[in-house]
Amino acid sequence: KTYDAVEVEALKKADVEHFLHPTSSITRLMERGPKIMAAGKGCKLYDVEGREYIDGTAGLWLSALGHGNAELAEAAREQILTLEYWTAFNEYSTVPTVKLAEKVASMVPIENAHVFLTSGGSETNDTVFKLVRYYFHNKGYKSKEIIISRQRAYHGTTYGALSATKLPNFHEGFEPLLPGFDYVAVPYCYLCPFGKEYPGCGLECALDLERKIQELGPDNVAAFVAEPIMGTGGVFVPPAGYFEKIREICDRYEVLYVDDEVICGFGRTGKLFGILHWEATPDIICLAKAITSGYVPLGAAVVSEKIFDVLKQKGTFPHGYTYSGHPVACAVALKNIEIIERERLWENAARMGGRLLNGIKERNLEAVGEVRGLGLMVGIDLVKDRATKEKFPTPLGARVIEIAYENGLVCRCLAGDIIQLSPPMIITAEEVDRIVEIVCDAIEKAY
Ligand code: PLP
């Protein structure tokens, strides 16, 4: 569908006047107007003016199958015509809801898992934080309430999830956050918060959790939450042994280990779940995004048998959303997962992720301090001086993504000077090579 110049102007004007954008610069919107997308097919996006872009971020890290998948559209259509909605409150369920819970439970690295359904990542994390407190309160541990996350973490923006998020711009002005949250170091090896180097560091970042638990008192700590590979904080792949050490510490102090797979889940990192790269079994797994490839909103909190046992004894879990277990979302998720498995898309994510990483490394750009990632989660750390790792006084990232956008690539900038690349999991070698070319040229030009 194309729009003429008058329609485009009207859309942009209405956007600025009436649409309150999530996490956007209102100043930039006022100055330059919005970037309105009109259509998508595969890894390509088209704006209202008909310009074509490669989707270098999979929306917000979410698309496995890319845009315009007809099988997913058909699954949604069929379910809407069969039963568009019924609640899961009061012991009700629907057929796709049951089937999705069963399917997800069969896939995750938790045995006899139980699946609570939500409409996204923030709702999932809020659910989980309530759940861990409910679990310990009902087990008789009245003070085990604190949830520990990590510096630079992003776990969502509702008050519960936001309290575990630790990016300063998301907190400022929104205080007070929820009580009972605390934070430990992030495994950012390139700029280690302890100024150490792996393996001589002795995994100081993992030991920081033990230090924090001891400082707060083990009787007060309920859970530790972490992404397998931190995404929005800057794309940080932890060093070998990190999650094994985390699991050991959580076991030692009876702290639940919550694995936030909202970005990593369903294949993006090259394995079905990010945590499968390490030997650490979580107590709870948080899912969203690629569970439906973003076609409809859905999230899931997956809990182990020991947690369900406490709920069973209590006899109820008084928490839920109108859309928990929404049949259309579940039907789309089931079809989406079927396609991911049929096409073994995690293998493509591993192959294409490697090609993307190496392609950027090979350009050996002056301003690139480090390119890192796993599968289709890639981060480019821009620095002024590669030898000293000194950052640019005025970050280069915004200019890089602007130039890339002008040249037909949507990418994103994290924390000022880390460029995020995370295209859909169906991406081809040719499209990856084009991303490398556009992003590297943009870095050169911006430098
Ligand atoms: N957890 C992680 C790791 C995320 O990256 C995000 C969103 O990007 C969330 C939670 C929040 O998800 P949502 O935006 O669907 O609420």
CB of 120 within 6 A of ligand 1: the answer is: yes
Residue 216 scores a pLDDT above 90? yes
Candidate of 122, 127, 163, 412 to mutate for ligand 1, largest count of ligand atoms within 8 Å of Cβ: 122
Centre of ligand 1 to C-alpha 58, Å, is 14
Q: Where are the alpha helices (DSSP H) in 296-425?
A: 305-314, 327-343, 345-363, 397-406
What pLDDT does residue 410 have? Answer: 98
CB of 156 within 6 A of ligand 1: the answer is: yes
Centre of ligand 1 to C-alpha 122, Å, is 6
Looking at residues 77-87, what average pLDDT do you find?
98
Q: What tens digit of pLDDT does each residue of 217-246 get?
A: 999 999 999 999 999 999 999 999 999 999
| Atom 1 of ligand 1, residue of closest alpha carbon | 155
CB of 260 within 6 A of ligand 1: the answer is: yes
| 325 vs 15: CA distance, rounded Å | 32
Return the ligand 1 atom nearest residue 158 CA: 16
| 133 vs 136: CA distance, rounded Å | 5
Return the ligand 1 atom nearest residue 286 CA: 1
Residue 1 scores a pLDDT above 90? no
- CATH 3.40.640.10 residue window(s) in the chain: 71-343
Centre of ligand 1 to C-alpha 286, Å, is 10
Element counts in the chain: helices (H) and strands (E): 15, 15
Strand ranges across the sheet with 377-382: 368-374, 377-382, 418-421, 412-414
Centre of ligand 1 to C-alpha 441, Å, is 30
Q: What is the dihedral of CA 412, 191, 226, 411, to 10 degrees?
A: 10
Rounded percentage of the chain residues whose pLDDT exceeds 90: 98
Q: How confident is the model at residue 29 (pLDDT cuts 50, 70, 90)?
A: very high
Looking at residues 200-204, what average pLDDT do you find?
97
Candidate of 289, 293, 298 to mutate for ligand 1, largest count of ligand atoms within 8 Å of Cβ: 289
What pLDDT does residue 397 have? Answer: 96
Q: Is 244 exposed, middle or buried (0-12, 13-18, 19+ CB in 10 A)?
A: middle
Centre of ligand 1 to C-alpha 24, Å, is 16
- Per the CB < 8 A criterion, the answer to whether 136 and 145 are in contact is yes
- CATH 3.90.1150.10 residue window(s) in the chain: 35-68+344-446
Q: How confident is the model at residue 74 (pLDDT cuts 50, 70, 90)?
A: very high
pTM beyond 0.95: the answer is: yes
Q: Is 80 helix (H, G, I), strand (E, B) or coil?
A: helix
Looking at residues 36-49, what average pLDDT do you find?
97
Centre of ligand 1 to C-alpha 50, Å, is 30
Q: Compute how many other C-beta atoms are within 10 angstroms of the C-beta atom of residue 73.
A: 13
Return the ligand 1 atom nearest residue 299 CA: 15
Q: Which two tokens stand for residue 159?
A: 């008050």
CB of 228 within 6 A of ligand 1: the answer is: no
CATH topology of domain 71-343: Aspartate Aminotransferase; domain 2 (3.40.640)
What is the DSSP-derived secondary structure letter of residue 67?
A: B
Domain 35-68+344-446: homologous superfamily in CATH: Aspartate Aminotransferase, domain 1 (3.90.1150.10)
Residue 2 scores a pLDDT above 90? no
Q: Compute how many other C-beta atoms are within 10 angstroms of the C-beta atom of residue 67.
A: 22
Q: What tens digit of pLDDT does each residue of 348-362 get?
A: 999 999 999 999 999
- Per the CB < 8 A criterion, the answer to whether 222 and 132 are in contact is yes
Q: In 3D, which of 95, 143, 367 has the Cα closest to residue 254?
A: 143
CB of 125 within 6 A of ligand 1: the answer is: yes
| 134 vs 328: CA distance, rounded Å | 30
Q: What's the mean pLDDT when you consider all of the chain?
A: 97
Q: What tens digit of pLDDT does each residue of 101-146 get?
A: 999 999 999 999 999 999 999 999 999 999 999 999 999 999 999 9
| Atom 13 of ligand 1, residue of closest alpha carbon | 121
Strands 146-150 and 221-226: parallel
Q: How confident is the model at residue 416 (pLDDT cuts 50, 70, 90)?
A: confident
What is the DSSP-derived secondary structure letter of residue 220?
A: G
